[in-house]
Structure 1
Amino acid sequence: MGTKWEQELDQMRYSRRKQIMDATFELVLEKGLMDITIVDIVKKAEISRVTLYKYYNSIHEIVFDIQLKILNELSELLDERLKGKNGLEKLKDYFATFITMFQTHPDHFRFAAIFDQYYQSSYPTLELEERYQSYTKQGIVLIEQIIDEGIHDGSIRKGTDPIMMAQILSHITMGTTQRIAVRSEIYKTESKVDSEEMLNYLMTFLASSLAADQPQ
C-alpha cells in the first residue's frame, strides 16, 4: 500500500486519463475516427497537448484504451451473471448480458462498431495488436468453456463444436448488437419490430438451437 501522496498521484493520473478518454469517446461518436485530431481532443478535454502526451503517444492508444474499457465492463457484467449454473443457462446469461449492456450503454456498441470498421484490415502497432487480441481471445475462450461445460452436463447438444461455435456466437452477438446500436434511430421508423425485442428474439433463438433435445 503506497503513501497518501502516491495514492493521490495515482488518482490524479486515473482522473486525467479518464478525462482524455471521455473526450475522445464523445468525439469519435460525433465525427468518426477518420476526422478527429489531437487538437480536437485537447480542446474537448480542456487540457494542453503537453499534458495529453504525458499519458498517450497517439490517438490510437487512446482509442484502444476506450475499446478495452468497454470490453472490460462487459466482462465484469458477465462475471456477475455466470455463477452456479449449467452450460445452457450460462449461455443464456451471456446473451442477456449483451441486451443489458445495449439497454444501459448503447453508445458502447456504436463506438465498438466504429472501432471495428476503422481497424478492419490492420492494427497501428504490434504492441496494440497483441494487447487487444490477448483480451479478445479471453472472451472467445469463455464461450468455448461455457459450450464445453454444457455438452458435458447435458444441457447443450452433443456434437456441437465449442471452438467453431464460440467464434460464430461471438460474431453474431457483437455484430448484430453493434448494427442495431448504430442504426437505432433508423430502425424506429423503418423496422416493424422493436430493437430490444429483436435482440431478445435472436438470443432466445440461438440458445434454443443449441439446447439438448432431452436432458442427459
Structure 2
Amino acid sequence: MPKLWNETIDAHRREVRDAILDTTAALAFEQGLRGVTMSQIATRAGIGRATLYKYFPDVETILRTWHARRIEAHLGELVKVRDGEGSASGRLDAVLAAYAHITRRTGSHDRELVKFLHPDEHIVAALDQLRDLLRQLIEEGAATGELRADVPPDELAAYCLHALSAAADATSEAAVRRLVSLTAAGLRAV
C-alpha cells in the first residue's frame, strides 16, 4: 500500500476514535453515567455499532480512554506553562493557576462521572507527574532563595495539590485567584 493511503487510513481511524470518545463524554454529561448505551454512541457518532465495537468493547472503556486523553492534554498544558519564561516562582505561580483552573473546569462536571473516572490508574500516574513537576519548580525556586527551603519540596508539592483541589468547588474566577494566591504565599521564602 502506498504511504499516502496508509496515512489517510490512519487519519480516518483517529477521527472516528476521537468522535467516539467525544460523543460518549457528551452523552455521559447529558444523561449521566448509567444512561449511555453503545447504540446511542454509534448513532450520535454517525457510525454503525459493528464499527464502534471494532474500536471499543464497552462504554466504560470508552470513558476511561477519553479521560486518559484529557489527562494527557492537561499535563501537556501544565508542562508548557512550566517551561515558559521567567523565574521559578513566577512559573510555579503560573502552573498553580493553570492547575486550579483545570480543577475548577473538571470539577463542574457530573460528580458521578468524575467519581467513576478518578480512581483509575491514569489519574494516579498524572498526579505523580504533576507532583514531580511542582517539586522541580519548588527545588529550583528554593535554590535561588525565592521559595522556602525549610520544608521538603515533596511536602510542598503535595500541599499545593491538596490546597488547589478546593478549586473544584470554587464559585467564581475571583475565588480561584484567591486560592492560588494563598497557596503560592505558603511557598514563599520566610
1:211 counterpart residue number:
188
Instruction: Give the partner amino acid of 2:108.
Output: R
**What's 1:60 paired with?**
60
Deviation of residue 88 (structure 1)? 1.6
Once the two structures are TM-superposed, the CA of residue 80 in structure 1 deviates from its matched residue by 2.7
Distance in 2, matches of 1:138 and 1:112, equals 25
**TM-score under structure 2 length normalisation:** 0.84
CA 1:178–1:77: 2 relative to 1, 3 Å? same
The answer to whether structure 1 residue 157 and structure 2 residue 155 are counterparts is no
Compute the displacement of 1:72 (Å): 2.2
Partner of 2:94: 93
- The runs of 5 or more residues in structure 1 that have no matched partner are 124-128, 181-186, 188-194
Distance 2:64 2:117 in 1: 10
Whether 2:89 is the aligned partner of 1:137: answer: no
In 1, distance between residues paired with 2:149 and 2:5? 57
**Distance in 2 separating the partners of 1:149 and 1:44:** 49
The Cα offsets for residues 64-85 of structure 1, whole Å up to 9 and x where unpaired, read as 2222222222222223322343
Query: Which consecutive residues of structure 2, in runs of 5 or more, have no partner in the other structure?
Result: none
SS in 2 for 1:54: helix
The offset of 1:109, in angstroms, is: 4.3
Give the partner amino acid of 2:176.
L
Secondary structure (helix, strand or coil) at the match of 1:34 reads helix
TM-score, structure 1 normalization: 0.75
1:26 maps onto 2:26 in alignment:
yes
| Residues 167, 179 of structure 2: 8 Å contact kept | no
Going from structure 1 to structure 2, the CA distance change for 1:199 and 1:207 (only over 3 Å counts) comes to same
Q: For structure 1, which segment, 161-170 or 13-22, has the greater mean C-alpha deviation from structure 2 after superposition?
A: 161-170
**Percent identity of paired positions between Structure 1 and Structure 2:** 23
Contact 2:19/2:45 (<8 A) preserved: yes
- Out of 167, 170, 189, the residue aligned to residue 177 of structure 1 is 167
CA positional deviation for 1:86 = 3.0
Q: Which residue of 2 aligns with 1:118?
A: 116
Structure 1 CA distance, aligned partners of 2:102 and 2:124? 22
Instruction: Tell me which amino acid in the other structure corresponds to 1:21.
Output: L
* CA RMSD in angstroms, aligned pairs only: 2.6
Which letter maps to 1:74? H
More displaced, 14-23 or 151-160?
151-160
The answer to whether the 8 Å contact 1:29/1:110 transfers is no
